[in-house]
A and B are shown apart, each in its own frame.
Chain A
């Protein structure tokens, strides 16, 4: 895939973190820009609510990625229902599809946004699949 620019890393992101009005009114960092800088793509999770069908569709996609050499993480927000990640619903859907649960990073709106941004960037930069897995798939 030599002509291909994909970063092979993806973050599950709560709906609220894509709302720039939300992040400008709280201490949360602009997560989309951190993901851009870190070379991650994102999968947007729905807002609080049932969303059974949509979460199943998202679980299908996460399983497909995790079975083919992509690193998947989840970014939650402390204080939101289920940290914005729908984990109680999503985790069994992923297990059912034989996909490992993505490592989670939880943002803290009660902390300094710049520090939270740094903490998130360090998490994103530091995470990837083991080299052996990368070599197997990313050619």
Chain B
């Protein structure tokens, strides 16, 4: 196999390879999220795990939080530091002509791609009633900062979707369908541009 040939690279949220990064009571798998990994590897994607911004910032025993609580200068600065750590690798992929996609975690205040969790009222003593946050169509803070760092480097916006783990009521079959459709659409797009979608 030609190692220097263009690859297909999937940047994936940290917790999709390591559910131990999830906030307490947020892990749906023991470790690896198998359906995501299986779908990507079956299509020949190399996996590139992104750092987990929440774990490094607030620890493994952090409280649940929504977008507004993480939307602080300190957290954004932390996310920028992480983005600067991983961006050189992403830049290298793109400069050598790899197809790079991003798989985040929909509903996450940090790693959401299509959706994030929101409630401007959250704060103070953590005794909120269950499920009183809203899901809104917006990037999470980490994804916003990662995309901003890539843009600063003159890199194009990446095709992206999210595994819908943090949407309040996780539906694995629906999430799998969503992901497969996204990946199939990438293969169709590559095919229409004359690229061999099977070529890694």
- Which residues of A come within 8 Å of B, CB atoms? 1, 3-10, 18-21, 24-25, 32, 35-36, 38-44, 46-47, 51, 53-54, 56-58, 60-61, 64-65, 68, 70
Contacts and interface: CB of A to CB of B under 8 A. Distances in A.
For the complex of A and B, list the 5 residue pairs with the smallest distance between their C-beta atoms, beginning with the closest.
A41-B18, A7-B30, A41-B31, A39-B30, A6-B27
Nearest to B49: A44
A3 B25 contact: yes
Contact of A35 (B3, B32, B60): B32
A21 B26 CA distance: 32
Interface stretch (B40-48, B103-111, B138-146): B40-48
B18 A42 contact: yes
A18 B1 CA distance: 15
B200 interface: yes
B84 A53 contact: yes
A53 to B, nearest CB: 4
B60 A53 contact: no
Contacts of A47: 89
Interface string B49-67: 1011001100111000000
Nearest to A46: B89
A3 B20 CA distance: 13
A53 B84 CA distance: 8
**A interface secondary structure, majority:** mixed
Interface residues of B, number: 40
Contact of B55 (A19, A39, A46, A64): A64
B63 to A, nearest CB: 13
B85 A53 contact: yes
B167 interface: no
A35 B52 contact: no
B26 A41 contact: no
Given A18-B46, A64-B55, A9 B24 contact: no
A5 B27 contact: yes
Contacts of B1: 21, 24-25
Contacts of A65: 20, 60
Contacts of B26: 4
B102 interface: no
A87 B49 CA distance: 19
A43 B14 CA distance: 8
A4 B27 contact: yes
Contacts of A53: 81, 84-85
B20 A10 contact: yes
B46 A36 contact: no
Nearest to A7: B30
Interface in B1-46: 1, 3, 14, 17-22, 24-32, 34, 37, 41, 44, 46
Contacts of B44: 20-21
Given A18-B46, A18-B49, A25-B1, 13 more contacts: A1-B24, A4-B25, A4-B27, A41-B17, A41-B19, A41-B32, A43-B14, A44-B17, A54-B89, A57-B85, A60-B56, A61-B56, A70-B60
Contacts of A46: 89
B175 interface: no
Given A32-B37, A60-B56, A70-B60, A7 B49 contact: no
